[in-house]
Amino acid sequence: MTSRNFDSLPTVEPVARLIEELNKLPGIGPKTAQRLTYHVIRLPAEEARALAQAVLDVKERVVFCSRCYNITDKDPCAVCTDLRRDQTRICVVEEPLDVLALERVQVYRGMYHVLHGVISPMHGVGPDDLRIRELLVRLQGSGVQEVVLALNPSLEGEATSMYLQKLIAPLGIRLTRLARGLPAGSELEYADEVTLTRAFEGRQEL
């Protein structure tokens, strides 16, 4: 029953190709790509078409706002053109998803600027690969009074914040960044050293 000669191994070209395409997506390994592919095969045709169309539409109809570089379907975006928002503050974030996260908590009502990454020599990302120049242009004579740096509390996020600080400080604009400390619901006993150090250093008067 054992044989090493398998000419008829069932490789179905469209199946292999979808597995390959899905496997290219971040966080989707070959096993997940296989499972998703077999799921798509069993979808009703109209649902598969809806998925394919959604992929096409997001490429065709979504652009980056030419002011804040957030994603939008009309340029400039809804935030940049909303006159009820505070035009004198700009919150700088790494990714469009960060804008979504901040909007969800409804604590900020100013403008945004999306860098599309952080400076990361390890990954070959320098300042010129980000929307830093565009941020500086926006700040020139703009009446902006505060720039909130809301980058991730990672090594690269911190380094990028420091880089931005050097560039923005000479402009005389108030520069803030999000607080570091213990996350809500966490237990002090399990906090990592860096978090605990930051929480202690940033302790507030009661």
How far apart are the C-alpha atoms of 188 and 182, rounded to whole Å? 7
Token output for 143:
């009446």
Sign of the dihedral defined by the CA atoms of residues 181, 203, 194, 99, in that order = positive
Q: Does 3 bind a second copy (CB under 8 A)?
A: yes
Query: Rounded CA gap, 149 and 102, in Å?
Result: 12
HSE-CB of 201 using CA atoms within 13 angstroms: 8
Under the phi-then-psi rule, with left for phi > 0, alpha for psi from -120 to 50, and beta for the rest, what region is 69? Answer: left
CB of 43 to a second copy, least distance (A): 7
Determine, following the binding rule CB under 8 A, whether residue 50 of this chain makes contact with a second copy.
yes
Residue 53 in the binding site for a second copy (CB under 8 A): yes
Helix/strand/coil for 15: helix
Task: Tell me whether residue 2 or residue 204 sits nearer to a second copy (CB atom).
Answer: 2
Q: Does 111 bind a second copy (CB under 8 A)?
A: no
CB of 165 to a second copy, least distance (A): 21
Helix (H) / strand (E) element for 201: namely helix 193-201
Distance of closest approach, residue 188 Cβ to a second copy, in angstroms: 26
Within 77-106, which residues bind a second copy (CB under 8 A)?
77-79, 82, 84-86, 89, 95-97, 99-100, 103, 106
43 part of the interface to a second copy, by CB under 8 A:
yes
73 touching a second copy, by CB under 8 A: yes
Within 11-30, which residues bind a second copy (CB under 8 A)? 12-15, 17-18, 20-22, 24-28
